[in-house]
Amino acid sequence: MPACSPTPRANRPDQPARPESVTVPSTPASDPRPRVVVGVGGGIAAYKVGGLVRAFTESGATVTVVPTAAALNFVGAATWEALSGQPVAADVFTDIPQVKHVLTGQRADLVVIAPATADLLARAATGQADDLLTSTLLVTRAPVLMAPAMHTEMWSHPATVANVGTLRSRGVTVLDPAVGRLTGADTGPGRLPEVDHIHSLGSLLLCDPGAIPHDLAGRRVVISAGGTREPLDPVRFLGNRSSGRQGYALALVAAARGAQVTLVSANVALEPPPGVTVVEVGDARELESAMTTHAAGADVVVMAAAVADFRPVRAGETKIKKRAGQGPPAVELVENPDILAGLSRPSPDRARVVVGFAAETGDGDGTPLDYGRDKLARKGCDLLVVNRVDEGRAFEVADNAGVILAADGSPPVEVPFGPKTVLAAAVCAVVARRLAGAAPGREPPK
């Protein structure tokens, strides 16, 4: 599991509390592993869910798979038992003395439904309890994460839209499906979100059951991620070590919290999070142009990309050659625009909340936080997330720590070392508090 300690079976504020009279039989105290229920709906995407079960078991969870009867037509119980190492039951009439239809939900720290079919969303939204999985959903007070997969027409049908709205209003995290090739020859929204994304959000909910409220619904959020590459010649560039993971984690969490997210992505080899619009860029000037266009009138802008401060004055049209006796060529550099400072300047188009990131090291003259405070003032943004990058932290790794500094003097928010989604959720929470009550931003540019 992630470095943060999972909070077992917390009652979520937006879900009914467990009645005082119910005693939950617990697994032995010697088993501290978080308990994840993976509910599998009857859709072709069920075959991908084996990877999700694996991901949770490998990260240290005990996984109970609860397939619907229809799901067993796609993947059999033997596969689920082998992958989870736990017995599998789909109906309420096996192991009756164990009262599975109650115990499975009571014992869960997290319930993940994948694929959440249109039928399963409908049954969950109307509170049906006609099989083990829907009974579990009614009983559990753990966070519930649903990853839909169905045809585009089913996803966009008013009945499904209403069911998703109902579930979200009850505190269930219903992801948007990914966009791409569907079962037939057609393409559109309806693919199961990537298993890695479902696993990351599930792990986040195990760390903090309240980490994904739907508090950015209706907000337009523009995030930059990755690292710019400044061309030197047709095959070489000046680049940096940013993998884009922090920016992608922000996009994943912001979208799961309901935001309409545009991700301006510079040279990142990661799958786009579900429901997020990706705009690919290469160098700093392309990044500036895309950010300026998309950030106009947005609610939130986050500059998580590592932007090269300098670029070669000239990018050669032909490859730079070694020439005998001439030594290495001199590379003349020119300064790139400061994109964050530009987006932070007061203007009618300025986003309501502008967030920067700063990877800092300390030295004899100051701590990383001292340098962060200077940078916050210099850039003119509202919030600055300071990461320490000494001791190999932050770049090309899955975990991060940070301190969120605010220009208006609000107390800093410290986020301990943990998954990048945890830092992303902390940033989203600070941003959502600032936006509360404010009118929504303008529509995105066409």
CA distances from 138 to 68, 128, 132, 141, 390 (A): 15, 8, 10, 8, 47
Provide the token pair at 15: 């879900």
Under rule CB under 6 A, residue 248 binds ligand CTP: no
Query: What letter would DSSP give residue 20?
Result: T
Please report how close the Cβ of residue 294 comes to ligand CTP at its closest, in angstroms.
14
Nearer to ligand CTP, 137 or 423 (CB): 423
Q: Do 70 and 134 touch, CB atoms closer than 8 A?
A: no
Provide the token pair at 126: 């109307």
Please report how close the Cβ of residue 379 comes to ligand CTP at its closest, in angstroms.
6
Under rule CB under 6 A, residue 300 binds ligand CTP: no
Q: Give 121's contacts (C-beta < 8 A, 6+ positions apart).
A: 146, 148, 160, 163, 164, 167, 174
Under rule CB under 6 A, residue 171 binds ligand CTP: no
Distance CA 395, CA 388 (A): 10
- Applying CB under 6 A, among 259, 305, 354, 403 the residue interacting with ligand CTP is 305
Please report how close the Cβ of residue 396 comes to ligand CTP at its closest, in angstroms.
16
Q: Do 201 and 176 touch, CB atoms closer than 8 A?
A: no
Under rule CB under 6 A, residue 264 binds ligand CTP: no
Nearer to ligand CTP, 194 or 288 (CB): 288
Neighbours of 407 (CB within 10 A): 16
- Applying CB under 6 A, among 63, 111, 137, 340 the residue interacting with ligand CTP is 340
Under rule CB under 6 A, residue 193 binds ligand CTP: no
Q: Give 159's contacts (C-beta < 8 A, 6+ positions apart).
A: 118, 122
Please report how close the Cβ of residue 429 comes to ligand CTP at its closest, in angstroms.
19
- Applying CB under 6 A, among 124, 174, 307, 432 the residue interacting with ligand CTP is 307
Q: Which of 163, 240, 267, 400 is catalytic?
A: 240
- Applying CB under 6 A, among 45, 63, 142, 339 the residue interacting with ligand CTP is 339
- Applying CB under 6 A, among 215, 233, 309, 399 the residue interacting with ligand CTP is 309
- Applying CB under 6 A, among 91, 286, 338, 399 the residue interacting with ligand CTP is 338
Cα dihedral sign, 125-129-130-131? positive
Neighbours of 360 (CB within 10 A): 22
**Residues 279-298 close enough to bind ligand CTP by CB under 6 A:** 284
| 240 carries an active-site annotation | yes
Under rule CB under 6 A, residue 91 binds ligand CTP: no
- Applying CB under 6 A, among 358, 386, 403, 427 the residue interacting with ligand CTP is 358
- Which H or E run includes 144? strand 144-148
Under rule CB under 6 A, residue 303 binds ligand CTP: yes
Neighbours of 57 (CB within 10 A): 18
Under rule CB under 6 A, residue 370 binds ligand CTP: no
Please report how close the Cβ of residue 381 comes to ligand CTP at its closest, in angstroms.
8
Please report how close the Cβ of residue 422 comes to ligand CTP at its closest, in angstroms.
19
CA distances from 305 to 23, 67, 150, 176, 349 (A): 49, 41, 34, 24, 21
Q: Do 46 and 69 touch, CB atoms closer than 8 A?
A: no
Question: Interface with ligand CTP by CB under 6 A: which range of 21-29, 199-207, 356-364, 399-407?
Answer: 356-364
Task: Return the active site residues.
Answer: 240
Which residues are near ligand CTP by CB under 6 A? 284, 303, 305, 307, 309, 336, 338-340, 356-359
